[in-house]
Amino acid sequence: MNDHKLRWSLPKHDYWSTPFAESLLRHLDLRSGIRILDVASGHGIPAFYLAEQVGSSGEVLAVDISAGQVARARAIQGSQLPWLRFECIDMRSLPPDLPTFDRITGNLSVMFFRPDRFQAVRGLVKHLKREGQLVLTFPSYGTFDSLWQRVDQMMIQKGLADERARFQDYLHERPSAQDGRDWLEALDLERVEAIEYPLEVATGPGPEFLHHPLLRGGFLDDVYECFEDPTHAEEFMEELSKDVERFTPLIAQRCVLSGWNKSCGSI
């Protein structure tokens, strides 16, 4: 492998996006010269890798709703890989004049398809060429299940009925691998796969757990938001953080959702 290839390999220091991207690439039929739409592209994992693999005869359009993420990706790119473009676009309402693509990818994307995930996927498939492949990854239902079970037990023990009701709503809103399979089959895609790969996330007790970069700013925040009183939330979470041996190891489920557009009918 030459230095150019190493330049755009998936970053080893990203312990969340890179493992999901690796699972995506395991299922993606990637080849030179094809046109790819990468949604929820963030700061470029795996858009840079995809662009390098399709080469200058191909094209990658990477879209994200966050202007900050797009700006960061463009700064990383500079003048390199000119066939890769980062644009600030909401993947849930793609421009109607957007062309069709040979592949549509989205690493850690499905969580951002709310409020109607099926309609978001339908919108993507409208821009998928016949014979094209859609590949999406997301942390599916069951991710960190041991933690959620412990949270639920503590809420029951403390008589937190309202907080527990909100918490259960959060849990049941998370899509499962079967949900993803159902979406693609309903859209008449073929060779549909919904495969899960476990990923262990290591943590210690106390602040290490409460401020873990892969847990805070997402998963743990959903528990805090179940409480109307922030002080009560802090007390609950601090108690939980002292008890990590009750719910570790923490296992995330990397779900890869893949399907091929063989239908010439309307979606």
pLDDT, tens digit, 9 for 90 and up, residues 208-249? 999 999 998 789 999 999 999 999 999 999 999 999 999 999
Query: Which residue, 91, 80, 83, is CA-closest to 123?
Result: 91
- Report the distance separating Cα 135 and Cα 232, nearest Å: 41
What backbone torsions phi and psi does residue 96 show, to the nearest 5 degrees? -65, -25
**CB under 8 Å, gap of 24 or more: what pairs does 11-14 form?**
11/45, 14/45
Task: Tell me which of 50-54, 64-68, 214-218 is least confident.
Answer: 214-218
Mean pLDDT throughout 125-131? Answer: 95
Split at pLDDT 50, 70, 90, the class of 262 is confident
Question: Domain 3-140+175-200+252-261 has what CATH class?
Answer: alpha beta
- Report the distance separating Cα 130 and Cα 100, nearest Å: 9
**Cα–Cα–Cα angle for 244, 250, 255, nearest 5°?**
160
Split at pLDDT 50, 70, 90, the class of 251 is very high
H helices present in the chain, as ranges: 3-7, 17-27, 47-54, 67-77, 117-125, 145-157, 161-173, 177-186, 207-210, 219-224, 230-241
Query: In this model, does residue 141 exceed pLDDT 60?
Result: yes
pLDDT score, position 114 = 85
Domain ranges of the chain: 3-140+175-200+252-261, 145-170+206-242
Q: Cis peptide before 198, with omega less than 30 degrees from 0?
A: no
Split at pLDDT 50, 70, 90, the class of 8 is confident
Split at pLDDT 50, 70, 90, the class of 265 is very low
Q: Which two tokens stand for residue 241?
A: 């953080």
